[in-house]
């Protein structure tokens, strides 16, 4: 896997993300925020995006598994002929914010929603991101019909 961070995890990254998304959204709007996430998904994570365009979702799934496992997130993966579900029951980022008594901003989840939308652009896949509750969500990847 190409995108691997090693060494200590600085969890205050999650605090910065929580605040930054809200700031960018309020100062520049949703279109600008989406453009930032689109560039991140398609240019920074270029190999994942190229694989998705070629019909291969495995690098994205490996990426999700690596980062959630790295911070002891709780998730389960189910796969059948029609879809792959990455169901998160304990998001490590949300857990960290709650442990610090920092409210999770509603806009915080836009990072997943927008990255997944951008990753699926121009690919044979759709990625549906459903927020179930604070720190619990499902990302479902399926082929376009």
Domain extent listing, the chain: 12-143
Q: What pLDDT score was predicted for residue 105?
A: 92
Residues 71, 130: Cα–Cα separation, whole Å: 21
pLDDT at residue 1 greater than cutoff 60: no
Residue 134 forms beta bridges with which residues? none
Residue with tokens 């920092």: 102
Q: What pLDDT score was predicted for residue 13?
A: 83
Contacts of 27 (CB under 8 A, 6+ apart): none
Q: Quick one: fold of 12-143?
A: Muramoyl-pentapeptide Carboxypeptidase; domain 2 (3.30.1380)
CB 138 within 8 A of CB 127: no
Mean pLDDT of 9-13: 70
pLDDT at residue 6 greater than cutoff 80: no
Q: What pLDDT score was predicted for residue 8?
A: 64
Q: What pLDDT score was predicted for residue 7?
A: 63
- pLDDT tens digits, 16-74: 999 999 999 999 999 999 999 999 999 999 999 999 999 999 999 999 999 999 999 99
- pTM score, two decimals? 0.90
Residues 85, 67: Cα–Cα separation, whole Å: 16
- pLDDT tens digits, 98-137: 999 999 998 999 999 999 999 999 999 999 999 999 999 9
Q: How far is CA 127 from CA 60, 64, 85, 98, 104, in A?
A: 11, 13, 10, 27, 23
Residue with tokens 């600085």: 10
Lowest mean pLDDT among 4-18, 85-99, 123-137: 4-18
Residues 80, 102: Cα–Cα separation, whole Å: 38
């Amino acid at each position: 896997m190409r995108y691997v961070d090693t060494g200590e995890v600085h969890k205050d990254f999650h605090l910065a993300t929580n605040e930054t998304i809200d700031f960018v959204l309020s100062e520049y709007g949703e279109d600008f925020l989406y453009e930032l996430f689109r560039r991140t998904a398609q240019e920074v994570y270029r190999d994942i995006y190229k694989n998705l365009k070629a019909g291969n979702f495995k690098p994205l799934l490996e990426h999700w598994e690596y980062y959630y496992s790295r911070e002891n997130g709780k998730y389960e993966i189910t796969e059948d002929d029609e879809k792959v579900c990455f169901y998160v029951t304990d998001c490590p980022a949300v857990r960290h914010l709650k442990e610090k008594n920092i409210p999770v901003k509603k806009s915080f989840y836009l990072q997943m929603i927008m990255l997944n939308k951008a990753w699926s652009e121009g690919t044979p896949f759709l990625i549906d991101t459903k927020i179930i509750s604070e720190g619990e969500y499902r990302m479902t990847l399926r082929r376009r019909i």
